[in-house]
Chains A and B, each alone.
Chain A
Amino acid sequence: SQKIEQNSEALNIQEGKTATLTCNYTNYSPAYLQWYRQDPGRGPVFLLLIRENEKEKRKERLKVTFDTTLKQSLFHITASQPADSATYLCAFNDYKLSFGAGTTVTVRA
Chain B
Amino acid sequence: EAQVTQNPRYLITVTGKKLTVTCSQNMNHEYMSWYRQDPGLGLRQIYYSMNVEVTDKGDVPEGYKVSRKEKRNFPLILESPSPNQTSLYFCASSSGQGAQGNQPQHFGDGTRLSIL
Contact: B105 with A46, CB < 8 Å?
Answer: yes
Partner of A31, one of B99, B102, B107: B102
Q: Give how many A-B residue pairs fall within 8 Å (CB-CB).
A: 68
How far is the CB of A29 from the nearest CB of chain B, in Å? 12
Count B interface residues, CB 8 Å.
26
Interface residues of B in 60-116 (CB under 8 A from A): 90, 92, 98-102, 104-110
Contact: A44 with B41, CB < 8 Å?
Answer: no
Cα–Cα distance between A33 and B101 once the two chains are bound (Å) = 7
Partner of A100, one of B4, B42, B98, B99: B42
Q: Which residues of A contact B (CB under 8 A)?
A: 30-34, 36, 41-46, 49, 51, 89, 91-102
Complex A-B: 10 CB contacts under 8 Å: A32-B100, A34-B104, A43-B90, A43-B108, A44-B90, A45-B107, A51-B102, A97-B99, A100-B42, A102-B42
